[in-house]
């Protein structure tokens, strides 16, 4: 029951109409019996400052931040958690008695999702495809977990810059390689985990993949962070090669779970969140 005492959480972005987060978070809040509601607010790029001022005025308890505000939101936080500072983007805001604290839960979400499926991450070699916003958060978390990281991106200069930034800040083991079939074949032979953090394979281009079955081996773990469709062409190819697969909902659910825990202090009900998200995708 929504009452005069109900707390409000939000997602701000543009567009946000198709976000899976309201479904996922409201299912979790219901399961936990918390008097909260989570709503989506479309906020235009030029209206971010106004929206965040309104946010404190209205006492909104917290929010997720999505495209196009993730980087710009940094400028409006009273405090930045180190997760947002190192990634250079905010995806979660906590309103702490009028002070806005910015976090980034993408890296932690990826790590929690991987840890569910993979043991001893610290001993693994990870090949990360992509050098955009998601890859940046994932790259930091992989290296901080103690794994070795190789980054490959269509625009090689971005991969090089990201590899230098991560290794500079973490002193971890980070390399960059060219994104070509020949190079990827060799790299994959020596990798335990392949993560696709590019948008390749995302709707409507569902027949695209950067890696095919003949380039993979059966000991490989393949994690595609694209979740529309849930079974991407890359994951189909990985199954053909006998590799273990992890879909994009793993990271999505766990980054949302980490946000929920920041806002409420309660342990997030992962299974309920996953189910609600799967149902929302099916109904689309």
Q: Determine if 198 is a binding residue for ligand NAP (CB under 6 A).
A: yes
Structure letter (DSSP) for residue 199: S
- By beta-carbon proximity to ligand NAP, the closer residue of 148 and 152 is 152
- By beta-carbon proximity to ligand NAP, the closer residue of 197 and 221 is 197
How many secondary structure helices (H) and strands (E) does the chain include?
A: 10, 12
Which amino acids are annotated catalytic? 70
- CB of 94 vs ligand NAP, minimal distance in Å: 19
Q: What is the CA radius of gyration of the chain?
A: 19
- How many Å apart are CA 206 and CA 201, to the nearest integer? 5
Q: Give the closest residue to 189 by CA, choosing from 249, 243, 146, 263.
A: 243
Judged by CB under 6 A, how many residues of this single chain contact ligand NAP? 23
- CB of 56 vs ligand NAP, minimal distance in Å: 27
Q: Determine if 83 is a binding residue for ligand NAP (CB under 6 A).
A: no
Q: Determine if 154 is a binding residue for ligand NAP (CB under 6 A).
A: yes
Q: Determine if 188 is a binding residue for ligand NAP (CB under 6 A).
A: no
- By beta-carbon proximity to ligand NAP, the closer residue of 35 and 164 is 164
Judged by CB under 6 A, the residue of 135, 145, 166, 234 near ligand NAP is 135
Judged by CB under 6 A, the residue of 255, 258, 264, 277 near ligand NAP is 255
- CB of 187 vs ligand NAP, minimal distance in Å: 15
Q: Determine if 276 is a binding residue for ligand NAP (CB under 6 A).
A: no
Mention every residue, 6+ apart, whose C-beta is less than 8 A from residue 17.
40, 42
The CB density around residue 175, as the number of other CB atoms within 10 Å, is 16
Q: Determine if 199 is a binding residue for ligand NAP (CB under 6 A).
A: yes
End-to-end, the C-alpha distance of the chain in Å comes to 26
- How many Å apart are CA 126 and CA 193, to the nearest integer? 5
- By beta-carbon proximity to ligand NAP, the closer residue of 8 and 259 is 259
Judged by CB under 6 A, the residue of 145, 238, 251, 260 near ligand NAP is 251
Q: Determine if 90 is a binding residue for ligand NAP (CB under 6 A).
A: no
Q: Determine if 11 is a binding residue for ligand NAP (CB under 6 A).
A: no
Angle between helices 21-32 and 249-264 (to 10 degrees): 50
- How many Å apart are CA 103 and CA 69, to the nearest integer? 13
Residue 103 phi, psi (nearest 5): -125, 165
The answer to whether residues 123 and 214 touch, using CB atoms and an 8 Å cutoff, is no
Q: Determine if 225 is a binding residue for ligand NAP (CB under 6 A).
A: yes
Judged by CB under 6 A, the residue of 74, 93, 134, 143 near ligand NAP is 134
Sign of CA dihedral 108, 114, 116, 118: negative
- By beta-carbon proximity to ligand NAP, the closer residue of 105 and 264 is 105
Q: Which tokens sit at 95? A: 């309103």
- By beta-carbon proximity to ligand NAP, the closer residue of 216 and 224 is 224
Judged by CB under 6 A, the residue of 11, 131, 195, 273 near ligand NAP is 131
Q: How far is CA 239 from CA 108, 134, 159, 249, in A?
A: 26, 24, 27, 17
**Which residues here bind ligand NAP, judged by CB under 6 A?**
106, 130-135, 153-155, 158, 197-200, 202, 225-227, 248, 251-252, 255
């Amino acid at each position: 029951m929504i009452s005069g005492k109900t707390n409000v959480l939000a997602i701000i972005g543009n567009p946000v109409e198709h976000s899976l987060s309201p479904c996922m978070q409201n299912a979790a809040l219901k399961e936990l019996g918390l008097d909260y509601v989570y709503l989506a607010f479309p906020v235009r790029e030029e209206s971010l400052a106004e929206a965040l001022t309104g946010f404190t005025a209205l006492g909104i308890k917290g929010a997720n931040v999505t495209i196009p505000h993730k980087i710009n939101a940094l400028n409006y936080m009273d405090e930045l958690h180190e997760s947002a500072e190192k990634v250079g983007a905010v995806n979660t805001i906590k309103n702490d008695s009028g002070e806005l604290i910015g976090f980034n839960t993408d890296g932690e979400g990826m790590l929690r999702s991987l840890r569910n499926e993979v043991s001893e991450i610290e001993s693994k070699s990870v090949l990360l495809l992509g050098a955009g916003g998601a890859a940046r958060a994932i790259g930091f978390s992989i290296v901080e977990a103690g794994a070795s990281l190789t980054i490959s991106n269509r625009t090689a200069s971005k991969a090089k810059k990201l590899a230098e930034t991560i290794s500079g800040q973490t002193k971890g083991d980070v390399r960059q390689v060219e994104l070509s079939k020949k190079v990827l074949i060799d790299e994959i032979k020596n990798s335990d985990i392949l993560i696709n953090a590019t948008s390749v394979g995302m709707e409507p281009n569902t027949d695209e993949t950067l890696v095919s079955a003949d380039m993979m081996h059966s000991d490989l773990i393949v994690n595609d962070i694209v979740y529309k469709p849930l079974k991407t062409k890359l994951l189909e190819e990985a199954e053909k090669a006998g590799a273990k697969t992890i879909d994009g909902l793993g990271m999505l659910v766990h980054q949302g779970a980490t946000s929920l825990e920041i806002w409420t202090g309660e342990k997030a009900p992962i299974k309920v969140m996953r189910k609600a998200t799967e149902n929302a995708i099916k109904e689309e």
